[in-house]
Every structure is written in structure tokens, then in C-alpha cells.
A and B are shown apart, each in its own frame.
Chain A
Amino acid sequence: MIKGNSGIRKTDVINRRMFIIGAAKIIIFTGIIARLFSLQVNENKKYLTLSDKNRIREWKLPPIRGDIVDYFGNVIAGNLKVYQLHIIPEQVENFNYLLTRLKTLLNLSDKKIEKIVKLKNKLKPWESIIVSENLSWSDFLKINNYLYDLVGVKPVMTISRNYPFSETYTHILGYVSQPNEEEILANETVQERFVPGMKIGKLGLEKTLENYLIGTNAIQRYEVNAYGKRINQLEHQKGKQGLRVRLTVDTEVQKACGKLLNDRAGSISVMDIYTGDIIAMYSSPSYDPNKFLFGISNDDWALIRNNPLKPLVNKTLAGLYSPGSTIKPIVALSALENKIVGPSFKVKCTGKMELYGQTFHCWKEKGHGFVSLKNAMKQSCDTYFYEVARLLGVDRLNITAEKFGLGKKVLGDYFDFEKPGLFPNTKWKKNNLGKGWVLGETLITGIGQGYTQTTPLQLCLMTAQIANGGYSIKPRIIVDNNPTSLEETKRKLKEETLYAEEKKLFENPKNIKIVQEAMFSSTNELYGTSYKSRIDDPKYQFAGKTGTAQVKRISMRERELDLKIEQIPYKDRDHALFVAYGPYINPRYALSIIVEHGGSGSRTAAPIAKELFKLIIDRDELRNKQKNFEEIEI
């Protein structure tokens, strides 16, 4: 019985204690349910977001760049379908076999194979290796033929930049290529839209207009697993192609410029004298920008870089030249405006001029005799301009020259490498060289030598502003949204001049007229320096001024020798320059031509103008018809 009692007492203890933990149990279960509730109901949104963040991965695809078209809508920088070859390692059965097959099919180098193997070891097995970025059509066909044998190989069609006119527009457009890290970080838009394999503008308008051209990424959303492998596609969000940019340039003229320069070092610019539209802007020699798209080969790069004619330099905007005699219209105008000389003022040219014991030569050793302004311009008499410059002084000349755009960038911010050039004055010399101005320097400045440095486009702008009657224009290379007729443009220029003094570049319109007539005679009258290149048909007739810029001082001995151009080493030959506008009646276009080390302007540069004017004026009609063609968003 004692045992029984003990058993009963024990049972009581067990039961009592069971209830104590039973209560604890209920509390704990309640606690767990509360925790579940807080996670699953209260914080559900937070964890749902986290779960989606886990499983959904976005893939940005490279955006499609906007086209760049010329004035007539021809695509000059477009997009092309290219064929690429990808390998997806996880699908490959025998990697070595595949590589040997591809090597023989595509003639891959050992180095390339090594690179692929290295990439394969670096990437995850489902990340594709790009074997070839730009497969030729025949290679693409070959691969497709043998596809059954090439397990794990994927031919892919994608889009790449393309420059259909190859070297014609290189110096305007620049090119696109794979950016380095610095370049990505430098531009916020690029940084935001960058995806590996994307190319960005490296130079020229492709670089300047990057944010307009770039376009927006297409986005693919994939569900991925914990290891980052894509499981299935959830969504495809289309990207927007970049903006279409229409330039003022005319491909036919641009092409002609290239042909006329014929790989000689030099530059041609053509400008509408009222709108400031740049019709052509060619720097020679040029190079094919398409070569840079997929990484230029070392050989090609060496060829371009080591070319002594410097194809990498945009000579139109960054080439600095002494204007030579092409400055004379400005010197004449400045003198007229400042009432230093009149049209009838005459100087006797004996072939040289003495000043403080220094001799300043005219190009014509025998001298021109008594010359008036018109004749001096026509025959490009240096003595006359020495004298005029001496009377005028460099500071007054500088004011006129700067009004006409010398010493300032022409296109502003569109090309970061554009150079402003220089037109000196006494203050400049004092500030920059620390020495006082010498009168002799005024003399040589009067014939466009000395410190003066101009870009070909500046000379073109200068000529255009003389041609349009002395109105300031703003050159542009991108067409804007307000197309206006010629009459409207002209009227506007004149109206604006009434209100904005800085638009007017002259005091007396007669003075411009005198200079224009002098330039006309230089090309169209006997003994004019560019008389040989004249066109008699009034439809094409143009007025111009030659220039021959010395690149080194001519020694006495050389002057006596009077060598033929072929006898002088290339580096020492003069630059040939020519500025012109036409048609003479109702002028519309101005141009500037420079042939580096081309010898005399009249022999080398002026004949190019003759060829070019025919084309430019023939295309004028087409250009006028083209006006309103589409809305541009820039």
C-alpha cells in the first residue's frame, strides 16, 4: 500500500508539473505564432521586395545610337547589323575540339585562342564568350553550315555603328569605340546606361553629342537562381533609339573636297554666308573611322599615327596657319574703316621697303610701281600693305580682325579640340612675351605673317562675313528647328544689326563694297593672282584672295636662288591658301582652302576653288528645296 501511495503521490507530482510546462508551452507557441505573424503579415511587403530583389535580375542591353544624317537626309553615321559568334561554355561538350574546329574555320590566331580559354576560366559557365565581334557574312555562313558540329556555339545578330562614307566625315563625326573606365565615369548618362560591349563617342560630334545620340537601354528582366543563372525571362522593355541629328553638311561637296585634296595635307571649308551653315569641312588626309569600331589593329594604328601628314589632326579646326595674303581684305577694310586710306590712295612699290635698316620684300622682286588699293589686292602687292599696316597700326587692325572672327573659336563647344588661334596686338605681346611691340611686326602682320595664327574655318568665316556685306553670322553644323528662307535670313541679319551693334561689322557699307570689288578683280581681272582659276559664267563667277604663307624665313641666298617649288624640301615649302566667295552677283557661299606646303596659293589652292564652286552652286538649288524636312529634337 505504501508503494501504491507512493505511486499515487508520484502521479500527482507528474501531473502538476505537466501543467506547469503545459502553460509554458502555450506561451511559447503563442510567441512563435506572433513572430510568424510579424514576419509574414506585418513585414510581408518588405520581405516580398527582398525576395524579388533576390530572384529578379535586370539585364540592360546596349542602347541603339541615333543616326547622324547630312542636310539631305543621307545617313552618314548609322547602325549596321553585325554577326557575332558567342560560345556558351556550359553547352559545350568538348571545349578543345570546339576550339580547334573554330580555329580552322575562322583562321583564329593562337593568341585569340589563348584569350578565349582565359575568358572561359574567368566567366561563369552560362556567361557567353564573344569569339568574334564582327563576323564577315561568309564566315557567318560557314559557321551556320557547320553548326551541327559546333555544339555550344551561338551565332548572334546585333547592331553596330557604321560610317558608310568611311573617311569622308571622320574629322566631323569622330568615331565610337569601347570606352575605358575614366571615360565612363566622365559622363553621367554613359555611366547610367553603360553595359559591357557598348561603344561611346570618342571624338568629334559622336563625343560632343553623346547624350543626344546614346539612346536608352532595352531592359530584359530575368528570374535568376541563387548562383545568378538565368531561369526564365519575365519581361522585355524596349529601349529608345538615340536622337537623329541632322547636320548642315552636304555629302557631295564633302566628298568632292576629299577628292580635290587628294590625300595632300590640307583643309577645305565651305560655308553659307547668311545662315552660317557649314556645307563642308574636310581635313586631309583622313582615315576610316570604321576601323576603330572593333578595336583597331596595331598595324593600322601605326600607319595612321606615324603618317607625317598627320591624319589624326583636324586641320580645319585645330590646324593653325599664318593667313598670308588672305588677311589683306581685312587689312584693307580696317584701313578704309579707320579712314587711313581711301580707294585712291597709292603706294609706290619698288619690290622692297626699308624700315629702320630692315628690308621688307614684296613677293614681286621688280615691284608693282604705283598701286591703288584695288590693284594692290588684285596683285597682292606686299609693299602696299606694309605701308597701310604701318599707317593703321596693329591695334586698330586687331579690332577689325577680331570682329571678323579671328582669334576666336568658330564652332564653340562642338569640338573640344578646336583652337582659337591668335591675332596679335601690342597689349598681347606685352602680356605674353613681355616685350614691346616693334613696328616691323606691324608690317608683317599686314601681310598675314608673324604672330597671326588662324584656323581654316576662321578664314572661311571671315570671308563669309565680308561676302554677306559685313554682318556677323554664327556658323553652325547642326540644323535647327527654324528653317527660314534666304530672304528672311537676310532681312533678319539686317534687322538684328539695327538693334545689336555687335552684329554689324562695318561703319560704312561702301568700304565692304570696295573690298569685295578688289577681291573680284583679284580673280576675274587680268594680272589678278587667281585670274587663271576664274569662271566667266556669272552663275558660278567667284571672288577670291590667294595667300602664300611662309613656314620659314626666306634667306637672302634663297631669294637670289629663286628655287622652283620642287627643289625645296617638303617641310620648307610654303602653305598655299585661298579664300573666296560666290557667285559674285548675289553671293551665297564662302570657302577657304589650305594645302600645306603646297607652294603658292594661286597655283595650288585657287584651282581647287574653281572645281568646287561649280559643284557648290549647282547644289544650291537642291539645298534650297530641301528646307523643311523634319522636326529635329535638338
Chain B
Amino acid sequence: MFQHDRLNNELTFWQKVKELDYILLISIFILSVLSLFIMYSTDGGEILFHTKSHFSKLVVFFPLMILIAFFNIRWWHNLSYLFYIAVILLLIYVSFFGIKSSGSRRWMDLYLFNLQPSELMKIAIILCLAKYYHRVKIENVNSVISIMTVITIILIPIIMVLSQPDLGTSILIASSGLIVLWLGGVKIKYFIYSFIVFLISLPFVISFLKPYQKLRILTFLDPDRDPLGAGYQIIQSKIAIGSGGLEGKGFLKGTQSYLDFLPEKHTDFIFTLFSEEFGFIGSVGLLVLYSIIIIRILRIGAISRSNFSRLFCFGFAFAIFIYIVVNLSMVLGLLPIVGSPLPIMSYGGSSMLATMIGFGIVLSAKINHKQMIA
């Protein structure tokens, strides 16, 4: 008990600094610097808007991550539900007063950047469910009330994000939520049942999709059906990646990118540019870097005493993994095109903010990994 109490005591500042996971921190830092170089390349080898903006966001959010790390994990545990509700409120706010752009209402104007609350929901849902499963008794995990509760927690934001409309982000929110459900111990048969139900209802779901979303699916199945229209992005993306070869065309020499053949090269298709310029070797290197980050996060989860930390770290690690997989599969032509950024690399403040908050909480979990949460 004594030990227990001692561990619940606050660490000193220097102890916290010592306890930071430096491998994770350095990996994130390398990734950030790399993302700046790639942004510089998307600007055509000049320091233009995107590079400057990306840089300024890194300058704000990287320290924010460290700041978050220095708060006790208990604190984040206590704030979890509140954070979830706050993000829900933001979602409600944008659905009325949000900035409308290319047909969907997703953003709210903050002075520094346009905030996309749905991106924050990716983290909030993990936090919220991690706290829920931390608190619920193992015997009750598969009770009707419990299942209904978590489904409600997941469905509310998904419906709101879908109505923006933003299919990509809602899929990512759903998968983040489902991962925590899985980790929390929801019976496997439920997952199988709901998967079967999903398959059966798929045709109905498709009939509810917007025409452009249907087009994306058709295009995914056969990109050449409209090579200058809907299939253009994926064809050009594959050309860029494929032409990169083993070693790549070299930094700032990606012709597909700087001759504007690549669409959305700052955001969703950033990997395409990276892969064109740095080739197979570079791409695998990037995946290795991401893997290090994920493995470090998983390790932090594994050494955490509290199940909240454990659930959050595992959940967040797999969420990041899914972001990467969805993004890469999309640019490689393995999945239909859904808007999903590549963590840290892609241009976009909200995504970076959410990821940095996640990293911060993970770092906090590391610092306080011996801490129990009641």
C-alpha cells in the first residue's frame, strides 16, 4: 500500500524529463522534420505558403505535445468524458456555423488555422472509451447496457461526421472506437455478427451514398473507366509511385509532383510525392519510422500499470496504424479514395493537433506508467 501511495505521488519536473520516452520523441521529431522537407518539395522547392504554415503548426503543436506529457495521466483520465463532450459540442457548432468548403461543413475558423473537430474526435473517442472500459467491470463488458452505451458513444459522432458529409473521417473514428471495444473485451462473436450485418446492409448503405462517393467506389474497382475524370487521381498517384522505382527520382525531382500531375499532393497524397522522390527504399524507411513510433506506443501501453493508459496507448497505436494503412492503401490503389491524411506528414492543422495530443497523452502515460488510476 505504501508503495502504491508513493507511486501515486507527483513526480518532480526533472523526474518527468528523465522519464520521457526519448526514442518516441526523437522519432516524432524526425518525422516532423521530414514532413517539413516534403512540404518544401510540394511547394516546388521553395518556402511558400504550405511550408511556412506547416512549420508554424509544428512549432506550436510539438511543444504542446510535450506540455501535455507533463500533465499527470490521471488528469487526462479525469478529463476524458469532458473532452469527448466538448468535441461533440464543437461538432454541433460546426454543423450550424462551420465554414462550408467543397460541399461539406467541417471546419471552424480559429485564428491560427481552421479547426476540424472531427479530427479531434479520433482522439476523443479513444480517450472516452478507454476510460469507460477502464472503469467498467470485466463481468459487465458484454452486458446489454454496456454494449448499448459504447455503441451510442461511437454512433453519435459518426452520424454527425457523416452528415457533414465526411465519409473518410467517420470511418476512421469508427475504427478507432471499435479497436477500443475489441481491446476492452467485447465478445468476438459480436464483432462477427455485426460484420455479417454490415455485409448484408452494405447494398442499402451504398444506395444512401452520395453520387460522388459511389463514383469513388466504381473508380476504385476500375480506375481506367474515366482516366481524366474520377480515375485521374488514382492513376496519376500510381504513376508517381511506380515511376519512383527503387531509389526514387531524388529530392525535389518528382516530376509528377512539380508538374502538377498529382492531385492533393499536400494532404492525402503526400505519400505519393514522398514515394516518387525517395523510391521503394525511402518508402520502406518511412514505414519503419512509423513502425518504431507504433511499437514504442505499444510498449508504453504494455508497461503501464493502469488499464486506462494501456487501453489508450494500444487504441491510439492501432488508430495511427489504421490511418497509415487507409492512407497508403488509398494512394496505392488498394482502397477507394476516402479523405484520410497521413499522420504528421500531411498538411492540415487539425489532424496534426489530434495526433500531437495523442502523442502527448502517450508520453504522459510513459512518465506515469507506474501510476494506478482508481
Judging by beta carbons under 8 Å apart, are B246 and A44 in contact? yes
Q: Which of A51, A54, A224, A226 has the most CB of B within 10 A?
A: A51
Q: Chain A interface (Cβ within 8 Å of chain B)?
A: 6-7, 9-11, 13-15, 17-18, 21-22, 25, 28-29, 32-33, 35-37, 39-41, 43-44, 46-48, 50-51, 54-55, 223-227, 231
Option from A28, A47, A55 in Cβ contact (under 8 Å) with B238: A47
Give bound CA distance, A28 to B322, whole Å: 10
Question: Which of B52-60, B78-86, B283-291 forms part of the interface with chain A?
Answer: B283-291
| Partner pick for A32 among B256, B298, B311, B328, CB 8 A cutoff | B328
Which A residues touch B138, using CB under 8 A? 6, 9-10, 13
User: B249: nearest residue on chain A (CB-CB)?
Assistant: A51
Interface segment, one of B94-102, B144-152, B156-164, B179-187? B179-187
A14 touching B260, Cβ below 8 Å:
no
Jot down 18 A-B pairs with beta carbons below 8 A, ordered by A.
A9-B138, A13-B183, A15-B310, A18-B183, A18-B298, A22-B298, A25-B294, A29-B291, A32-B334, A35-B334, A36-B275, A39-B242, A40-B242, A40-B280, A41-B245, A48-B243, A225-B261, A226-B260
| B183 and A54 contacting across the interface, CB-CB below 8 Å | no
- Contact string, B235-248, partner A, CB cutoff 8 A, digits 1/0? 01011111111100
The proximity string for B residues 315-354 relative to A, scoring 1 for CB distances below 8 Å and 0 otherwise, is 0001001000100110010100000000000000000000
For B334, the closest partner residue in chain A by CB is A35
In the complex, the answer to whether B255 meets A223 with C-beta atoms within 8 Å is: yes
| Cβ of B259 under 8 Å from chain A | yes
Q: Which of A18, A33, A46 has the most CB of B within 10 A?
A: A18
CB distance from A348 to the nearest CB of B (A): 92
In the complex the two chains form, what is the Cα distance from A16 to B280 in whole Å? 34
A28, A29, A43: the one within 8 Å of B242 (CB): A43
B255 touches A11 (CB 8 A): no
Nearest Cβ on chain A to B180's Cβ, whole angstroms? 10
Q: In the complex, A227 Cα to B256 Cα: how many Å? A: 12
Known A13-B185, A18-B314, A43-B242: A36·B255 in contact at CB below 8 Å: no
Contact A39 to B287, CB < 8 A, known contacts A6-B139, A50-B243, A51-B255: no
- Chain A residues contacting B238 (CB-CB under 8 Å) are 39, 47
Question: Is the beta-carbon distance between A35 and B310 smaller than 8 angstroms?
Answer: no
Whole-angstrom distance from the CB of B197 to the nearest CB of chain A?
A: 21
With a cutoff of 8 Å between Cβ atoms, the chain A residues found around residue B182 in the complex are: 17, 21
B310 touches A11 (CB 8 A): yes
- Enumerate B255-284 residues with CB–CB distance to A below 8 Å: 255-256, 259-261, 275, 279-280, 283-284
CB distance from B191 to the nearest CB of A (A): 11
Closest to B239 in A: A50
Bound together, the chains give a CA A227 to CA B261 distance in angstroms of 8
Cβ–Cβ contact B329 & A14, under 8 A: no
In the bound complex, CA of A223 to CA of B283 (Å): 26
Is B302 an interface residue, CB under 8 A from the partner? Answer: yes
Q: Smallest distance from the beta carbon of A24 to chain B beta carbons, Å?
A: 9
Tell which of B133, B137, B280 touches A41, judged by Cβ atoms closer than 8 Å: B280
Is B301 an interface residue when CB atoms closer than 8 A count as contact? yes
Residues on B lying within 8 angstroms of A by beta carbon are 133, 137-139, 179, 182-185, 236, 238-246, 255-256, 259-261, 275, 279-280, 283-284, 287, 291, 294, 298, 301-302, 307, 310-311, 314, 318, 321, 325, 328-329, 332, 334
Q: A22-B298, A223-B259, A231-B259 are in contact. List 16 more A-B contacts (CB 8 A).
A: A10-B138, A13-B184, A14-B311, A17-B182, A32-B325, A33-B287, A36-B280, A36-B284, A37-B280, A46-B242, A47-B240, A48-B243, A48-B245, A50-B243, A51-B243, A55-B259
How distant is the Cα of A517 from the Cα of B302 in the complex, in angstroms? 126
A44's nearest neighbour on chain B, judged by CB, is: B245
**CB-defined contacts of B242 to chain A, threshold 8 Å:** 39-40, 43-44, 46-48, 50-51
> Which residue of chain B is the closest to A31 with respect to CB atoms?
B334
Instruction: Say yes or no: A28 contacts B246, CB within 8 Å.
Output: no
Tell me whether B329 and A32 are in contact (CB under 8 A). yes
A40 and B307 form a contact (CB under 8 A): no
Interface of A is mostly: helix
Shortest CB distance B189–A (Å)? 14
The minimal Cβ–Cβ distance linking B54 to chain A, given in whole angstroms, is 23
Q: Which of A15, A41, A51, A224 contacts B240 (CB 8 A)?
A: A51
> Which chain A residues lie closer than 8 Å to B260 at the CB level?
225-227
In the complex, the chain B residue whose C-beta lies closest to that of A39 is B242
C-alpha gap A48/B179 in the complex (Å)? 39
Check B307 against A10 for contact (C-beta < 8 Å).
yes
Nearest A residue to B136 via CB reads A10
Query: Hey, which chain B residues are within 8 Å of A40, CB to CB?
Result: 241-242, 244-246, 275, 279-280, 283
Q: Which residue of B lies closest to A17 (CB)?
A: B183
Distance between Cα atoms of A36 and B287 in the complex (Å): 11
| Chain B nearest Cβ from A625, distance in angstroms | 62
Are A55 and B298 in touch, CB under 8 angstroms? no
Cα separation A444 to B264 with both chains bound (whole Å): 89
Decide: A21 and B243 in contact? CB cutoff 8 A: no
Contact A14 B185 (CB under 8 A): yes
In the docked arrangement, what's the CA distance between A21 and B298, Å? 12
Contact residues in B for A29 (Cβ distance below 8 Å): 287, 291, 325
Inter-subunit contact A36/B332 (CB<8 Å): yes
Q: Which of B256, B283, B301, B328 contacts A18 (CB 8 A)?
A: B301
**Roughly how many angstroms separate A48 CA and B139 CA in the complex, as a whole number?**
58
Task: Report chain B residues within 8 Å CB of A18.
Answer: 183, 298, 301-302, 314
Among A6, A14, A35, A47, the most chain B Cβ lie within 10 Å of the Cβ of A14
Q: Are A32 and B243 in contact (CB under 8 A)?
A: no
Residues of A within 8 A of B332 (CB): 32, 35-36, 39
Contacts of A32 on B, CB cut-off 8 Å? Answer: 287, 325, 328-329, 332, 334
Contacts of A46 in B (CB 8 A): 242
Q: Is the CB of B243 within 8 A of A15?
A: no
Contact assessment for A41 and B246 in the assembled complex, using a CB-CB cutoff below 8 Å: yes
User: Do residues B298 and A47 form an inter-chain contact, with CB atoms below 8 A?
Assistant: no
Q: Which of B179, B243, B260, B325 has the most CB of A within 10 A?
A: B243
Contacts of B334 on A, CB cut-off 8 Å? 32, 35
Contact A14 B284 (CB under 8 A): no
* A-B complex: 8 closest residue pairs judged by Cβ atoms: A47-B242, A51-B243, A226-B260, A225-B259, A40-B280, A13-B185, A44-B245, A47-B243
B183 and A33 within 8 A (CB): no
Nearest B residue (CB) for A225? B259
Question: A18: nearest residue on chain B (CB-CB)?
Answer: B314
Residues on A with C-beta less than 8 A from B294 are 25
* CB atoms of A14 and B241 under 8 A apart: no
Whole-angstrom CA separation of A46 from B235 in the bound complex:
13
What separation, in Å, do the CA atoms of A41 and B247 have in the docked complex?
9
Using Cβ atoms and an 8 Å threshold, which residues of chain B touch A43?
Answer: 242
Q: Which residues of B contact A37 (CB under 8 A)?
A: 280
For residue A44, which residues in chain B have a CB less than 8 angstroms away from its CB? 242-246
Residues of B within 8 A of A55 (CB): 255-256, 259, 261
Q: Are B243 and A36 in contact (CB under 8 A)?
A: no
Tell me the minimal C-beta distance from B298 to chain A in angstroms.
Answer: 7
Contact present for A224 and B307 (CB under 8 Å): no
Q: How far is the CB of B147 from chain A (nearest CB, A)?
A: 16
Highest count of chain B CB atoms <10 Å: which of A43, A44, A227: A44
Contact indicator A47/B246 (Cβ below 8 Å): no
Across the interface, name the chain B residue whose C-beta is closest to A54.
B261
If A14-B184, A44-B245 touch, whether A224 touches B283 (CB-CB below 8 Å) is no
In the complex, A47→B242 CA distance in Å?
Answer: 5
In the bound assembly, the distance between CA atoms of A526 and B291 in angstroms comes to 118
* Residues in chain A near residue B137, CB distance under 8 A: 6
Whether A15 and B325, one on each chain, are in contact in the complex, defined by CB atoms closer than 8 angstroms, is: no
Is the pair A54, B256 in contact by a Cβ cutoff of 8 Å? yes
Least CB distance from A551 to B in Å reads 66
